[in-house]
Structure 1
Amino acid sequence: MNQTFSKLNFILWVVLLLMIFSQAEAYDPLDPFGNITIKWDVISWTPDGYVALVTMFNFQMYRHIISPGWTLSWGWPKKEVIWSMVGAQTTEQGDCSKFKGNVPHCCKRVPTVVDLLPGVPYNQQIANCCKGGVVASWGQDPAEAVSAFQVSVGLAGTSNKTMKLPKNFTLLGPGPGYTCGPAEIVPSTVYLTPDHRRKTQALMTWNVTCTYSQQLVSRHSTCCVSLSSFYNETILKKVGINTPRKDNVPLLQCTHHMCPIRVHWHVKVNYKDYWRVKIAVTNFNYRMNYTQWTLVAQHPNLNNVTQVFSFDYKPVVPYESINDTAMFYGMKFYNDLLMEAGPLGNVQTEILLKKDKKTFTLKHGWAFPRKIYFNGDECKLPPPDSYPFLPNSAQKYPVAFSRIAGFMFLLIALV
């Protein structure tokens, strides 16, 4: 009996550890509450089913869904069909041969749905649809962090008691990485009428929560970080060459780092009360344009950002007592599109930060970031022992002369 109990206890511990590690893979310490929530609102019953409004909310602070957009699929619990859709469409119709006359939009047991492209006829649209599946992050643009479509389901239950929830949700956005939980019934959504004078309520509502794990996509970083400084350019930028494929079409510019995206952090100037950092993002991918890109940096002095040049900026506060993380992104219609590899495949900014005299130092790599994320994926940092270091003769707080100060110094010397 004791031996059986010990074996059972061991199995329970193994299961618990597996659950912890699986959740840890999807956990992002800089965005602990980030997820994509898919809400189904049953807005009316039909003779053989229901009509639902499906809304996707991207509650991730800096990870968005880029082109070619999201793909959503699920499994029907019975023999349901999709009679019609507004604002989206399935990729396949399936076998609808048993239907005569009125043929469903989709008869597959596991339908796959994609967003419609912009510019479709007005009668095929609903609010927040038709963006080609592109969804902004919540921290970057909450108004654009929503996508929706309407679906009419047949051969389903016609009441809260007879209707069964879809299962096995899968979200691709636009690649792998998302894991979706089961559908859970929640309090019915309350809506305002278009004139905002009357409230209506969904007949039934359920949510599906999907979380992202970089480990599910690839254990190799999709971006890497290089570092340099005004006092010791230990890590230098190297010019790469094109690597053609068999059809002579280059895929990725060949460099020593072989990363599709490189983020370069350069400690540019050290003033008396401020210091300046230059950040450059370079795209080495010949097949990829990054729209609405985001760059997230973690550094203890980012709580004292004074000015950001040529990028938009928002602080990211994952916890109430910590403010060491910032999100940077391009200005709309100016540099929010990071072009493919080539002369235009580069965006850059400079950041002016006020010193915290209690903690600021240029020693021991303090001036370099702790973490860098591009489009929500963590970039690979160089090993700490390769960081640019201060020369032995350097002062504790070396002060960089401005042009005016240098000119005044020259005048004094001449007199």
Structure 2
Amino acid sequence: MASPLAFSLLAFLVFSSLASIAEAYDSLDPNGNITIKWDIIQWTPDGYVAVVTMYNYQQYRHIQSPGWNLGWTWAKKEVIWSMVGAQTTEQGDCSKFKGNIPHCCKKTPTIVDLLPGTPYNMQIANCCKGGVISSWVQDPANAASSFQLSAGLAGTSKKTVRAPKNFTLRAPGPGYTCGPAKDVSPSTFLTSDGRRKTHALSKDMEHYLYILPVSCTEDPYMLYSPYLAYAVNDPSKSSYAPLVQCTSHMCPIRVHWHVKLNYKDYWRVKIAITNFNYRMNYTQWNLVIQHPNFDNLTQLFSFNYRSIAPYGDINDTAMLWGVKYYNDLLMEAGPYGNAQSELLFRKEPSFTFEKGWAFPRRVYFNGDNCVMPPPDAYPWLPNSSPRLRFPSFVLMVVLWAALALSLIHHL
């Protein structure tokens, strides 16, 4: 006999005014990094042509809109003659050049990706996504971003070329710091007809970008009425600043963990994610949830599942995301701004409903960490399906807990 349970957990993603320092080491993704590879594919009269590729080897953190922003410092007096698949944000002082003017003359150029829909003759493979890069686990086919540049005044051989230094990556989410560069084997490329492989002309340079300690800064909300539709399209407001539906919690995202049913050998949880932000469609969203019973997950509906298992054989951390073309797009605030799933867990000898055991230990939404303050009390419920019917006021206990998100700002 199954008995209904109704205690739930809400994860509110909010702009926190807490000033705290996050750890650089991510215990749920200890080997996550972004790797930059610099391939010289052709020599030119005063330099070379290179393909620069960023690989996102983070398990669950995407680089989201408005996308990546890559910079470096040239080792000598290099300039960028031309680019394909990206562009610099500034041209710099090119006054010493007459006739053929470089694309960029800055000592420290800043590069941004081109947008989808860029003309075909300005594209290369893995470019033109508006700077958005998916995580390696969720969408490996879109976990890289590339562009091509022609560098001048740069040396024309392996002996005279100097690698750029002081790489920086600015992107939504955590900040990144660059590890030391090293030479690696040349990459392999296909010719334009796709029938022949070619190699880069020299050893490549590879950088690893790791997550930096970051601080959280105050970003207070204004109270908007859900009926003020004109405010959504107000050109004076940033398109990425949240415009939140008027609710009691005033949070842009709510994650609802609801312990729904208690069977003799199993228990069932319903997860509902609701988007209250009028300005954001979360494409390819994901949840990372830490709970000791994920090793006994037996069935999952309408979500994808991947065990992260950061501690080897201990399977207590799951990555969940929507099924492609079905619920991988979490729509902006409105009747379709939600995604739901149910999880069926098998019980083990240590299973208990006491003292909040049924709730997650940690919750991440799109890589943002939620901090859960403990409630004053948890409901004490039976560990197995009861034979006698419990009073309705016990069965309908609802526990609401707010998880304050410290949004991570890029440096």
Q: Give 5+ residue unaligned stretches, structure 1.
A: 1-21, 223-239, 402-415
Shift in Å, 1:95: 2.1
Structure 1 pair 143–97 and aligned structure 2 pair: CA distance change class (3 A): same
Matched residue pairs, number? Answer: 356
Q: State how 1:230-245 maps to structure 2 within 5 Å.
A: 242=225
Task: Work out whether residues 43 and 52 of structure 1, in 8 Å CA contact, stay in contact via their aligned partners in 2.
Answer: yes
Q: 3-state DSSP class of the match of 1:100?
A: coil
Structure 1 pair 219–306 and aligned structure 2 pair: CA distance change class (3 A): farther
Q: 2:306 aligns with which of 304, 307, 314?
A: 314
Task: Work out whether residues 39 and 207 of structure 1, in 8 Å CA contact, stay in contact via their aligned partners in 2.
Answer: yes
Greater mean alpha carbon deviation, residues 159-168 or residues 131-140: 159-168
Q: 2:361 aligns with which of 364, 370, 377?
A: 370
Q: State how 1:199-214 maps to structure 2 within 5 Å.
A: 200-213=199-212
Q: 1:28 aligns with which of 12, 26, 29?
A: 26
Looking at structure 1, the residues matched to 260 and 287 of structure 2 have their Cα atoms a distance apart, in angstroms, of 19
Structure ranking higher on relative contact order (CA contacts 8 Å, 6+ apart): 2
- In the other structure, the counterpart of 2:370 is 379
Are residues 1:398 and 2:385 paired? Answer: yes
Looking at structure 2, the residues matched to 167 and 140 of structure 1 have their Cα atoms a distance apart, in angstroms, of 31
Q: State how 1:61-76 maps to structure 2 within 5 Å.
A: 61-76=59-74
- In the other structure, the counterpart of 2:379 is 389
- In the other structure, the counterpart of 2:8 is none
Deviation per residue, 1:248-270 (Å, 9 max, x gap)? 55822344544322211111101
Structure 1 pair 73–198 and aligned structure 2 pair: CA distance change class (3 A): closer
Are residues 1:351 and 2:343 paired? Answer: yes
Q: 1:301 aligns with which of 293, 303, 324?
A: 293
Shift in Å, 1:140: 0.3
Looking at structure 2, the residues matched to 145 and 400 of structure 1 have their Cα atoms a distance apart, in angstroms, of 51
Q: 2:53 aligns with which of 40, 48, 55?
A: 55
Looking at structure 1, the residues matched to 80 and 246 of structure 2 have their Cα atoms a distance apart, in angstroms, of 48
- In the other structure, the counterpart of 2:239 is none
Q: Which residue identity is paired with 1:95?
A: D
Q: Give 5+ residue unaligned stretches, structure 2.
A: 1-20, 233-241, 389-411
Looking at structure 2, the residues matched to 28 and 189 of structure 1 have their Cα atoms a distance apart, in angstroms, of 30
Q: State how 1:99-178 maps to structure 2 within 5 Å.
A: 99-173=97-171, 175=172, 177-178=174-175
Q: State how 1:215-226 maps to structure 2 within 5 Å.
A: 216=214, 218=216
- In the other structure, the counterpart of 1:408 is none
Deviation per residue, 1:159-199 (Å, 9 max, x gap)? 233222222222122x3632222551222224164567756
Shift in Å, 1:209: 1.4
Q: % of aligned pairs identical?
A: 61
Structure of higher CA gyration radius: 1
Task: Work out whether residues 221 and 379 of structure 1, in 8 Å CA contact, stay in contact via their aligned partners in 2.
Answer: no
Looking at structure 2, the residues matched to 283 and 186 of structure 1 have their Cα atoms a distance apart, in angstroms, of 45
Question: Cα RMSD over matched residues?
Answer: 2.9
Deviation per residue, 1:327-373 (Å, 9 max, x gap)? 111122221111222322221111111112x2211111111101101
Deviation per residue, 1:122-159 (Å, 9 max, x gap)? 22111111122111100101111011111111111222
Q: 3-state DSSP class of the match of 2:93?
A: coil
TM-score calculated relative to the size of structure 2:
0.79
Q: 3-state DSSP class of the match of 1:216?
A: coil
